[in-house]
Amino acid sequence: MNELELVKLAENPDPRAPCLLLIDTSASMSGNPINALNDGLRTFYQDVMRDELARRRVEVAVLSFGHGGVTVQQDFVTVDDWTPTDLKSGGSTPMGEAIDKGLELLRGRKDMYKAAGLQYYRPWVFLITDGEPTDTWQDAAKRMQDEDAAKGLVFFSVGVEEANMMKLAQVASPSRPPLKLKGLQFAELFLWLSQSQQRVSHSRVGDQLALPPIGWAEVGT
């Protein structure tokens, strides 16, 4: 276990709200979609940074799958320690590997919280994809769904443009169907995510929350 990271965690005793972003950067995201997505990530960062409490409590990790394979673009850090970088598109869609890697990151971070004596809110996992998985994904999806059902995390899945929503419905948690992004409304999506995370970070650990209305998507079929 990373001793330096434990010291850093201990310097901020606030409870943490981990948010893991699993982002499809395959070739089909090229052009306007990847540009809109990168703009959305910056919107998320800027909006959370306006909230003094949320910027200390919300932790972000970004894992991309597509360009360069499965890549940890950012391991978990509080938003005030994060600098969004532009993601590049290309390659296939190894979604199953990305889900497994994301769950591994999350388990490691929970262990760090426990070792540092920190409370944490139920982690959010946000999957954004415009394609179909090009690897074996069924076992990974089942592990994510089981974690969600056991209240170990909250799993959201979002389909972009030509995403196979029927396939995504099999990846998503049965209790939380996938959402279809309207056009390229990434800015609206990430603003909603920011406002949701701010509500989480201002609550008490374990509280039930009413989330902002979702105006950027429709339920996929």
pLDDT digits (tens, 9 = 90+) for 98-146: 999 999 999 999 999 999 999 999 999 999 999 889 999 999 999 999 9
Rounded distance between C-alpha atoms, residue 29 and residue 38, angstroms: 11
Provide the β-strand partners of residue 70.
65
pLDDT digits (tens, 9 = 90+) for 53-87: 999 999 999 999 999 999 999 999 999 999 999 99
Q: Which domains does the chain have, with CATH numbers?
A: 32-67+75-127+141-203 (3.40.50.410)
The pTM of this model reads: 0.95
pLDDT tier, 221 (very low <50, low <70, confident <90, very high otherwise) = very low
Rounded distance between C-alpha atoms, residue 83 and residue 41, angstroms: 10
Q: 């603003």: which residue's tokens?
A: 191
Tokens of 75: 């391991």
DSSP assignment letter at 81: G
Provide the β-strand partners of residue 181.
217
